[in-house]
Amino acid sequence: MTKKIILSLILIGCLFVAVACGNNGTEVAEDEISVDVTNNTEEIIVSFAVFYGDNLDEWGEELLGDEVIEPGETYTFLLPEGQYTALFFTFENYIINAARNFDESISIQIGGDDKVPVLFRNLTEGDIAFLSILESGSIDFEEDPLGEDVAEKIIDADMLGAEVLPAGLSRFIFIRPGVYDLIGLDYELEVVFGQSEIEIEQGSTITIGQ
């Protein structure tokens, strides 16, 4: 299911299922798994947590309800045993993090490790399948950036993992401050954008397709 569908579910009003949620310190029963989400950022608030799993009442439920996960807080979701995918969003519906196809208790860290949140906005008409952030000077943008060695480097440095950055959506990626080369590819490994010597710092926003 694409993130566009996920966001549509949020915007039309998701069902809040309090029985599937807990808070930090809640005991986990034998037939449950826990999802501990720690917000290590300084200013980002986790406003929506959308879970997918056969053992929930509905496919794609928002389980934070009226609560949020403030900076520095940890929130625990309690779920019936099963396999799940979870996606987390800000109030503006910016993607923050995701965990796919887990079937046991997990801990999800948002931010931390001296990384700062960088907002990537995809204003192109196509999805970005690979988004790589490389040490400055890694790519010669005057030449074909998709030579075999470079393509392998791009995929190895992919920051999206199992996710994509769909057209028209935005997501945070956490990066240590520095100067980088950025390159994005579509599903066919065609270049969507490429920029060199981009300075990443607190509050950085990268707009693709403007």
State the residue range of the domain holding 30. 3-110
* Same domain for 103 and 128: no
Please identify, among 110, 140, 157, the residue that sits at the C-terminal boundary of a domain. Answer: 110
Instruction: Report residue 26's pLDDT band, with 50, 70 and 90 as the boundaries.
Output: low
Instruction: Report residue 132's pLDDT band, with 50, 70 and 90 as the boundaries.
Output: confident
Query: Does position 23 have pLDDT exceeding 70, yes or no?
Result: no
* Same domain for 58 and 75: yes
| Tokens found for residue 63 | 């389980």
Domains: count for the chain = 2
Per-residue pLDDT at 69: 98
* Same domain for 128 and 73: no
Instruction: Quickly tell me which residue has 């952030």 as its tokens.
Output: 133
Q: Tell me how far apart the alpha carbons of residues 185 and 101 are, in angstroms, rounded to a whole number.
A: 24
* Same domain for 75 and 57: yes
* Same domain for 69 and 151: no
* Same domain for 203 and 132: yes
* Same domain for 130 and 105: no
Instruction: Report residue 205's pLDDT band, with 50, 70 and 90 as the boundaries.
Output: very high
By residue count, the chain amounts to: 210
User: What is the per-residue DSSP string for 91-129?
Assistant: TT--EEEEEEEE-S-EEEEESBTTBEEEEEEE-SSS-B-
Q: Tell me how far apart the alpha carbons of residues 32 and 86 are, in angstroms, rounded to a whole number.
A: 16
Per-residue pLDDT at 163: 81
* Same domain for 105 and 8: yes
Which CATH number belongs to the domain containing residue 28 in this structure? 2.60.40
Please identify, among 56, 86, 110, the residue that sits at the C-terminal boundary of a domain. Answer: 110
Per-residue pLDDT at 143: 62
Chain segment 153-203, per-residue pLDDT in tens: 677 777 887 788 889 999 999 999 999 988 888 888 888 888 888 999 988
How far apart are the two ends of the chain, measured CA to CA in Å?
27
* Same domain for 57 and 82: yes
Cβ-based burial of 25 (10 A; exposed 0-12, middle 13-18, buried ≥19): exposed
Per-residue pLDDT at 144: 56
- The highest-confidence range among 19-23, 134-138, 148-152, by mean pLDDT, is 134-138
* Same domain for 187 and 153: yes
Average pLDDT over residues 39-63: 94
* Same domain for 137 and 70: no
Chain segment 83-115, per-residue pLDDT in tens: 999 999 999 999 999 998 999 999 999 999 899
- Which helix (H) or strand (E) segment is 36 a member of? strand 32-39
* Same domain for 192 and 138: yes
User: What is the per-residue DSSP string for 137-193?
Assistant: TSS-TTS-TTSHHHHHHHHHTBSSTT--B-TT-EEEEEE-SEEEEEEEE-TTS-EEE
